[in-house]
Amino acid sequence: MNSSSNPQPNYASMVYDFNIDGWSEGFFTPYENSIIPNNAIINNVYMEVLESLEGASDGLFLCEIGGNNLTIATYSSIPAGTIYTTFAHNKSVIDTPMRPLFTVELTQGKFNIIVEYFMSGE
């Protein structure tokens, strides 16, 4: 049996902590990040909220993963313990770190982004 008949998932994660990273308009690369390999098939993206997300107002959270912009969630006082899932089914188009984007100022929060992916050659 070759690996393509039973592909194994790979995982990458990135932690964002407002207290360390602060907030920046547009995309930015946080202090802790992972690179998704080129041509990886992104299967699922999870956001685990470790410290409540608070913003100046409702906003949209996006994350660039493998050259794809994926919408994760809208936020305004998202409590700790919340887990969001998006089924991505995108193919990465470049080796690049995961980069978050907030459309309004985030005033507090800490979360972990976990990406489940398969290598396209598996």
pLDDT in tens, 39-94: 888 888 888 889 988 877 777 777 888 888 877 777 767 788 888 887 777 888 87
Q: Determine how many CB atoms are found less than 10 A away from the CB of residue 39.
A: 15
Say which residues have a Cβ less than 8 Å from residue 119's Cβ, sequence separation at least 6: 7, 10, 37, 39, 40, 41
Which residue type does 10 have?
N
Counting every residue written for the chain, the total comes to 122
Residue 31: pLDDT band by 50, 70, 90 thresholds? low
CB 51 within 8 A of CB 58: no
pTM score of the predicted model: 0.77
pLDDT tens track for 82-100: 888 877 778 888 777 788 8
